[in-house]
């Protein structure tokens, strides 16, 4: 057996042993989910709301025969699957491996399936079929979707036809038919966004950049506000100069463009810093999940301890 | 700290034990040669411990790191604070579980402040899972801590609508064109707090919690810009998106919470005013998550400095040779 395989086998066995010890031989244990049974429909059946171990223990102490708070086997299995998937995805940091590949494939498949369901139930049904055949859709799938007085709106047949035309590109012949709806989508999106960007970004940003360099606040000179405005104005002008290629970047123009580069670099740095913060937050929430929800090593919300 | 180290000695042993081979390399091969050929997996391991240990420390001790609210967090807080009881507020949950770590603390704090101010809350989502996340926040904050608030009278979840910025463009002038029911399927005409609400220009404030597209940018472009007098927007965003949104501050976006740092600052303001002497730990998620941020950032700064030292040392060696 290779040395590396032996080390990995030892780490896995150690990890598995620790989990078994923690789950079976510690006071609180780990990795269990509890639910609260709430009777509905005149007590004919139960709805299961999430509950905590703390709720369960408190209820058991009061009445050992209670049936309100229960261990949920399906939720517990899901919790362990989530923990396994998290660790499996992290395993890629060491090296690409079969477990990572399997989990990645499951994730991609789940994601595709999820978006397909969303597209069907949240787009096609309410936005298209619910408009063309409202009564039928309300009876079959979504009661109350368009209200009791819903009328058929035959204008929605146009997007239906365009949608069918878009799918035509998968047909063996006549794939050019798909270009028409595509042209419509591109044209509409471009038109909508052009106005929004011109109005919301271009014009508003020009307006926001025209700032007084000497700021008077309640009649007194506000030094820091003036510096802030000066930085904004110098930053905008120098960055614009950097992207202005009609003059050679020499002399005054070159120096201003260099200042622009500094501003751009600081912007990229700040942007990268924010991205790092976001990525660390993502890692932190996964580790928090492993330590809190799964291993019960920490309990900031007092869910596992009395 | 000393008590923590004494009680959790095993964690110290595991961390130091896992890094022992790296330390041995530094000792046997020298500092710069080891750094030059450092396997990236050591950096991953260092980052793992830099995030895990503070989470564990904060989780066990219950302590959080000190936080001083910045100008933007204060501006966001004040925009909500100046509203009056009964004012309608639209809260858009434009994110999904992948950014929950950063954005759910903001969402929780926003809803708490709105509930404390007795505002009427209209929840909606432009992201498919946003509606469920809104329900989770409602359960977590409103149902558990404000049981006197009634669904349909004090808050309503209008649910998810597909169409991205198209939805915003429609509901700024006609909400009922797209929304005929709430997320539970109840017709709007049967919901008391929807009576008289025709469009979102009637909202005193729009709060968007955004993880990308569609999000704050689209709300600025399609709601605030065409109706600057009637629609006022504040929001919270992920770290990745935040730099794109700063140009909108303060004219188009008076308040913005950027990433977990913004969430922690805002949480501090909300807790200081409404948390009482012993705030519920669920309102301290952002403050708790700043612990790993601090240590991980220090590690990154250290690594950048080390990489620069290595770069200049190599350059000097090359120029000599």
- Same domain membership, residue A138 and residue A184: yes
Residue B254 to residue B266: CA distance in whole angstroms: 14
- Same domain membership, residue A190 and residue A220: no
Question: What is the pTM (predicted TM-score) of this model?
Answer: 0.89
- Same domain membership, residue B141 and residue B29: no
Check CB contact of A219 with chain B, cutoff 8 Å. no
Q: Is the pLDDT of residue B6 over 90?
A: no
Contact between A35 and A76 (Cβ < 8 Å): no
Q: Is the pLDDT of residue A106 over 80?
A: yes
Q: What number is the ipTM of this complex?
A: 0.90
Residue A12 to residue A20: CA distance in whole angstroms: 12
Residue A84, in any domain of the structure: no
Domain end: A159, A194, A229, which one? A194
Residue A238, in any domain of the structure: yes
Contact between B244 and B123 (Cβ < 8 Å): no
Residue B124 to residue B134: CA distance in whole angstroms: 8
- CB hemisphere CA count around B72 (13 angstroms): 23
- Same domain membership, residue A169 and residue A236: no
Residue B66 to residue B161: CA distance in whole angstroms: 39
Over chain A, what is the mean pLDDT? Answer: 88
Residue B53 to residue B10: CA distance in whole angstroms: 12
Domain end: A152, A168, A194, which one? A194
For residue range A131-152, list pLDDT tens digits in order.
888 888 888 887 777 766 778 8
- Same domain membership, residue B166 and residue B53: no
Least confident of A9-23, A194-208, B304-318: A9-23
Q: Domain of B241: which CATH number?
A: 3.40.50
**Higher-confidence position of B84 and B15:** B84
What does each C-alpha distance from A89 to A57, A81, A107 come to in angstroms? 34, 12, 10
Residue A158, in any domain of the structure: yes
Instruction: Write down the pLDDT at residue A6.
Output: 78
Residue A189 to residue A99: CA distance in whole angstroms: 42
Q: Is the pLDDT of residue A25 over 80?
A: no
Q: What is the mean pLDDT of residues A225-236?
A: 93
* Residue A214: Cβ within 10 Å count: 11
What is the domain range of residue A150? Answer: 115-194
Residue B95 to residue B212: CA distance in whole angstroms: 7
- Same domain membership, residue B116 and residue B6: no
- Same domain membership, residue B84 and residue B34: no
- Same domain membership, residue B95 and residue B242: yes
Check CB contact of A10 with chain B, cutoff 8 Å. no
Residue A163 to residue A44: CA distance in whole angstroms: 45
- Same domain membership, residue A189 and residue A238: no
- Same domain membership, residue B302 and residue B270: no
- Same domain membership, residue A219 and residue A159: no
- Same domain membership, residue A217 and residue A190: no
Q: Is the pLDDT of residue A247 over 70?
A: yes
Q: What is the mean pLDDT of residues B56-66?
A: 88
Q: Shortest CA distance to A8 belongs to which of A139, A128, A124, A99?
A: A99
Least confident of A131-145, A169-183, A190-204, A247-261: A131-145
Residue B276 to residue B283: CA distance in whole angstroms: 11
- Same domain membership, residue B33 and residue B85: no
What is the domain range of residue B97? Answer: 71-279
Residue A163, in any domain of the structure: yes
Q: Is the pLDDT of residue B237 over 90?
A: yes
Residue A147, in any domain of the structure: yes
- According to DSSP, the β-strands at A45-51 and A34-40 are antiparallel
Residue the block writes with tokens 């009634």: B150
Instruction: Write down the pLDDT at residue A1.
Output: 67
Residue B231 falls in which region: left (phi positive, over 0), alpha (psi -120 to 50) or beta: beta
Q: In what helix (H) or strand (E) does residue B279 lie, and over which residues does it extend? A: none
Residue A76, in any domain of the structure: no
Question: pLDDT > 90: what percent of chain B?
Answer: 72
Nearest to A145 among B41, B59, B180 (CB): B180
- Same domain membership, residue B96 and residue B39: no
**Higher-confidence position of A88 and B64:** A88
- Same domain membership, residue B294 and residue B275: no
Contacts of A277 in chain B (CB under 8 A): 239, 259-261, 293, 297
Residues 95-114 of A with CB under 8 A from B: none
Distance from CA of B1 to the nearest CA of A (A): 16
For residue range B101-139, list pLDDT tens digits in order.
899 999 999 999 999 999 999 999 999 999 999 999 999
Q: What is the mean pLDDT of residues A50-56?
A: 89
Contact call for B225 and A196, based on CB within 8 A = yes
Contact between B160 and B123 (Cβ < 8 Å): no
Question: At a CB cut-off of 8 Å and minimum separation 6, what does B63 contact?
Answer: B57
Tokens of B316: 């000097």
- Same domain membership, residue B152 and residue B17: no
Q: What is the mean pLDDT of residues A107-135?
A: 90
Walk across the sheet containing B155-160 and list its strands.
Answer: B155-160, B120-125, B88-94, B205-210, B233-237, B255-258
Contact call for B59 and A297, based on CB within 8 A = yes
- Same domain membership, residue A188 and residue A120: yes
Contact between B55 and B210 (Cβ < 8 Å): no
* Phi (first) and psi of residue B235, to 5 degrees: -165, 175
Give the count of domains, chain B: 2
- Same domain membership, residue B182 and residue B56: no
Over chain B, what is the mean pLDDT? Answer: 92
Distance from CA of A280 to the nearest CA of B (A): 7
Tokens of A203: 């014009």
Contacts of B262 in chain A (CB under 8 A): none
* Residue A74: Cβ within 10 Å count: 10
Tokens of B321: 């040779």
Three-class secondary structure assignment of chain A = CCHHHHHHHHHHHHHHHHHHHHHHHCCCCCCCCEEEEEEECCCCEEEEEEECHHHHHHHHHHCCCCCCEEECHHHHHHHHHHHHHHHHHHHHHCCCCHHHHHHHHHHHHHHHHHHHHHHHHHHHHHHHHHHHCHHHHHHHCCCCCCCCCCCCCHHHHHHHHHHHHHHHHHCCCCHHHHHHHHHHHHHHHHHHHHHHHHHHHHHHHHHHHCCCCCCEECCEECHHHHHHHHHHHHHHHHHHHHCCCCCCCCHHHHHHHHHHHHHHHHHHHHHHHHHHHHHHHHHHHHHHHHHHHHCCCCCCCCCCCC
Contacts of B60 in chain A (CB under 8 A): 298
Distance from CA of B182 to the nearest CA of A (A): 9
- Same domain membership, residue B241 and residue B289: no
Question: At a CB cut-off of 8 Å and minimum separation 6, what does A234 contact?
Answer: A259
Residue A209 to residue B239: CA distance in whole angstroms: 24
Instruction: Write down the pLDDT at residue B177.
Output: 85
Residue A15, in any domain of the structure: no
- Same domain membership, residue A183 and residue A223: no
Residue A28, in any domain of the structure: no
Residue A300 to residue B16: CA distance in whole angstroms: 25
Q: Is the pLDDT of residue A306 over 60?
A: no
- CB hemisphere CA count around B231 (13 angstroms): 26
Domain end: A194, A227, A249, which one? A194
Nearest to A280 among B187, B288, B292 (CB): B292
Q: Coil, helix or strand for B209? A: strand
For residue range B176-206, list pLDDT tens digits in order.
888 888 988 888 888 999 999 999 999 999 9
Reported residue count of chain B is 321
What does each C-alpha distance from B31 to A226, B26, B28, B37, B307 come to in angstroms? 48, 5, 9, 10, 12
Give the count of domains, chain A: 2
Distance from CA of A270 to the nearest CA of B (A): 8
Residue the block writes with tokens 């109706």: B227
Instruction: Write down the pLDDT at residue B3.
Output: 83
Q: CA triplet B201, B207, B209: central angle to 5 degrees?
A: 140
């Amino acid at each position: 057996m290779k040395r590396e395989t032996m080390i990995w086998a030892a780490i896995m066995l150690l990890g598995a042993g620790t989990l078994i010890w923690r789950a079976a031989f510690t006071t609180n244990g780990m990795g269990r989910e509890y639910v609260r049974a709430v009777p509905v429909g005149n007590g004919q059946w139960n709805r299961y709301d999430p509950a905590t171990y703390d709720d369960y223990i408190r209820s058991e102490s009061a009445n050992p025969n209670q049936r309100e708070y229960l261990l949920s086997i399906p939720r517990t299995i899901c919790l362990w699957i989530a923990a396994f998937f998290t660790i499996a995805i992290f395993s890629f940091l060491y090296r690409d491996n079969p477990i990572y590949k399997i989990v990645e494939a499951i994730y991609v498949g789940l994601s595709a399936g999820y978006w397909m369901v969303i597209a069907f139930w949240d787009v096609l049904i309410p936005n298209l079929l619910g408009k063309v055949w409202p009564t039928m859709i309300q009876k079959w799938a979504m009661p109350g979707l368009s209200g009791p007085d819903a009328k058929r709106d035959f204008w929605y047949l146009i997007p239906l036809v365009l949608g069918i035309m878009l799918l035509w590109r998968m047909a063996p012949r006549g794939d050019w038919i798909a270009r028409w709806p595509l042209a419509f989508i591109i044209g509409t999106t471009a038109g909508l966004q052009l106005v929004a960007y011109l109005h919301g970004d271009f014009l508003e940003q020009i307006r926001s950049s025209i700032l007084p360099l000497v700021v008077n606040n309640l009649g007194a000179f506000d030094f820091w506000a003036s510096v802030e405005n000066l930085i904004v104005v110098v930053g905008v002008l120098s960055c614009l100069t950097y992207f202005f290629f009609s003059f050679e970047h020499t002399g005054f123009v070159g120096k201003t463009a260099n200042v622009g580069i500094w501003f751009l670099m600081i912007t990229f740095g700040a942007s990268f810093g924010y991205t790092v913060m976001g990525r660390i937050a993502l890692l932190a929430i996964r580790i928090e999940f492993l330590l809190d929800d799964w291993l019960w090593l920490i309990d900031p919300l007092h869910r596992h301890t009395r | 700290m000393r008590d923590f180290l004494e009680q959790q000695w095993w964690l110290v042993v595991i961390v130091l034990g896992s890094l022992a081979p790296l330390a041995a390399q530094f000792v046997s091969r020298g500092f710069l040669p080891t750094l030059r050929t450092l396997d990236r997996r050591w950096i991953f391991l260092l980052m793992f411990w830099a995030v895990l240990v503070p989470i564990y420390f904060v989780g066990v001790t219950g302590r959080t790191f000190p936080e001083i609210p910045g100008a933007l967090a204060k501006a966001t807080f004040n925009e909500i604070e100046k509203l009056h009881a009964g004012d309608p507020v639209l809260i858009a949950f434009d994110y999904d579980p992948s950014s929950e770590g950063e954005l759910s603390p903001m969402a929780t704090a926003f809803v708490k402040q709105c509930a404390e101010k007795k505002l009427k809350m209209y929840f909606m989502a432009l992201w498919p899972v946003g509606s469920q996340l809104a329900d989770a926040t409602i359960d977590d904050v409103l149902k558990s801590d404000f049981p006197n608030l009634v669904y349909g009278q004090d808050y309503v979840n209008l649910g998810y609508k597909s169409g991205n910025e198209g939805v915003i463009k429609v509901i700024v002038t006609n909400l009922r064109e797209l929304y005929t029911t709430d997320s539970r399927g109840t017709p709007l005409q049967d919901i008391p707090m929807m009576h008289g609400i025709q469009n979102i220009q009637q909202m005193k404030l729009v709060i968007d919690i955004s993880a990308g597209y569609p999000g704050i940018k689209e709300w600025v472009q399609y709601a605030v810009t065409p109706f600057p007098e009637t629609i006022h927007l504040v929001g919270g965003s992920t770290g990745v998106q935040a730099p794109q949104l700063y140009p909108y501050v303060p004219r188009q976006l008076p308040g913005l919470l950027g990433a977990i740092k913004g969430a922690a600052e805002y949480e501090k303001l909300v807790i200081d005013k409404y948390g009482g002497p012993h705030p519920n730990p669920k309102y301290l998620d952002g403050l708790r998550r700043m612990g790993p941020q601090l240590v991980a950032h220090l590690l990154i700064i250290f690594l950048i400095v080390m990489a620069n030292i290595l770069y200049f040392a190599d350059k000097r060696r090359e120029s000599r040779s």
